[in-house]
Structure 1
Amino acid sequence: MDVLTVPAERPKGWYLPLMAPNTKGPAFAWLDPSRLYCNSQALADCVKDLLAPFQGDSIDLVAGIDAMGFILGASIASTLGKGFLAIRKAGHLCVETQSQNYSDYTGRQKTMEVRLDVLRPGLRVLLVDQWIETGGTMKAAIRLVEQQDATVVGVAAVAIENTEGGKWIKENYRFSHCVPEELQIQVDGKNLEFVKMLN
């Protein structure tokens, strides 16, 4: 599917074929969802699909995870008319922060941090990232929000894989993602057939 093509029918996940496969090897994620953001309708429909399970919920703030979660998170915040909080990789915020260690999808140990002057008890936060593979990054973000006594309303991502960490998130938090149920097994298997199927 051409990045500028918008089909007449737009069911949930119609834009997934716009994602691009990894061409750079195992040091990178297996798929690049960011290509779909280049199509304004695809991005708008992705945001709509991610927000659908939270219609009627009280959301005070949207928090996006460094770095690709910033794109979706800011788009969701703008759609809701809410503020956006950046949860950053350590060393990038020039104010007082709280930090949390985690292991990312490659198994590398990292640290993320959040500023101390925004989150507060009772604040209802929607957490957003581009993709949840092992769940380590999102779990760390959840801890950062909850350690400041704010409430995680839910978790949103283009896809949440059914790994141990992904299942933990689905079992413990409200969630949304853009992958139709019949394609979940292919996403979990990192199989690009689902892209061909939707094409």
Structure 2
Amino acid sequence: MEALTIPPERTQRWYLALMAPNVKGPKYAWLDPSRLYCNQQAFKDCIEDLLQPFQNDTIDLIAGIDAMGFILGAAIANHLGKGFLTIRKEGHSCIKTNSRAYTDYTGRRKVLEMRTDVVKSGLRILMVDQWIETGGTMEAAIALIEQQGGTIAGIATICIEDSEGGKRIKEKYKCSTCIPEHLQSQFNNQYLETFKAF
């Protein structure tokens, strides 16, 4: 399926078939979700699906996690007419920050940083990242928000895999993903039937 092709009938979550498999080996993520962003309609439908559960909720600010969460998060912020807070990887901010160490999906130890002059007590923040595999990155970002008194209004991400961390996040926070229940096992097994078309 070409990246810019829109099917005549857009079935539920049709855009998931646009995601491309890993062709570079195990040091990379197992698929490329960003391919669906290349299709304007797919990107729009993805954002609308992610926001569906939060339609009646108060959201004051959107926070996106470095780096792919910036794309999805900024688009969601624009769609909602809200501000956008970046949560950066260590060493990229020239201002005062709080930091939190975590272990990412590759098992590497990293640090996230967040500016200290935006999040105030009671501010309701929608957390956005492209993907949650082990949950370490999202849990570190949540800790930074909560450390400054912010409230997690919810979490929006294309997929939350059924890892220990993923399950913890789903149990504790209101979450929205693009993955229908009947496809979750394919995502957990890190192989999609649609990959056969590539």
TM-score, with normalisation over the residues of structure 2? 0.97
Distance 2:51 2:116 in 1: 27
Do 1:183 and 1:194's aligned partners in 2 also have CA atoms closer than 8 Å? no
Aligned to 1:136: 136
Aligned to 1:103: 103
> Residue type matched to 1:14 in 2?
W
In the TM superposition, residue 141 of structure 1 has moved relative to its aligned partner by: 0.5
Give the share of equivalent positions with the same residue, in percent.
Answer: 64
3-state SS in 2 of match to 1:51: helix
Matches within 5 A, 1:168-183: 168-183=168-183
Distance 1:171 1:156 in 2: 14
Do 1:13 and 1:179's aligned partners in 2 also have CA atoms closer than 8 Å? yes
Deviations 1:25-79 (Å, cap 9, x if unpaired)?
1111001100100000000000000000101100000000000000000000000
Aligned to 1:39: 39
In the TM superposition, residue 194 of structure 1 has moved relative to its aligned partner by: 4.9
Aligned to 1:58: 58
Do 1:131 and 1:158's aligned partners in 2 also have CA atoms closer than 8 Å? yes
Aligned to 2:165: 165
Aligned to 2:80: 80
3-state SS in 1 of match to 2:14: coil
Aligned to 1:186: 186
Using the TM superposition, name which of 8-17 and 151-160 deviates more.
8-17
Residue-pair matches, total = 198
Do 1:187 and 1:194's aligned partners in 2 also have CA atoms closer than 8 Å? no
Deviations 1:116-157 (Å, cap 9, x if unpaired)?
010000100000000100000000010000000000001111
List alignment gaps of at least 5 residues for structure 1: none
Do 2:63 and 2:86's aligned partners in 1 also have CA atoms closer than 8 Å? yes
Do 1:102 and 1:140's aligned partners in 2 also have CA atoms closer than 8 Å? yes
Aligned to 1:4: 4
Distance 1:47 1:86 in 2: 18
In the TM superposition, residue 191 of structure 1 has moved relative to its aligned partner by: 1.4
Do 2:20 and 2:195's aligned partners in 1 also have CA atoms closer than 8 Å? no
Distance 2:19 2:121 in 1: 38
Distance 1:177 1:168 in 2: 15
Matches within 5 A, 1:10-21: 10-21=10-21
3-state SS in 2 of match to 1:184: helix
TM-score, with normalisation over the residues of structure 1? 0.96
In the TM superposition, residue 88 of structure 1 has moved relative to its aligned partner by: 0.3
3-state SS in 1 of match to 2:145: helix
> Residue type matched to 1:172 in 2?
K
Deviations 1:81-137 (Å, cap 9, x if unpaired)?
000000000110100000000000000000000000100001000000001000000
Distance 1:12 1:62 in 2: 25
Aligned to 1:29: 29
3-state SS in 2 of match to 1:15: helix
Distance 1:14 1:3 in 2: 12
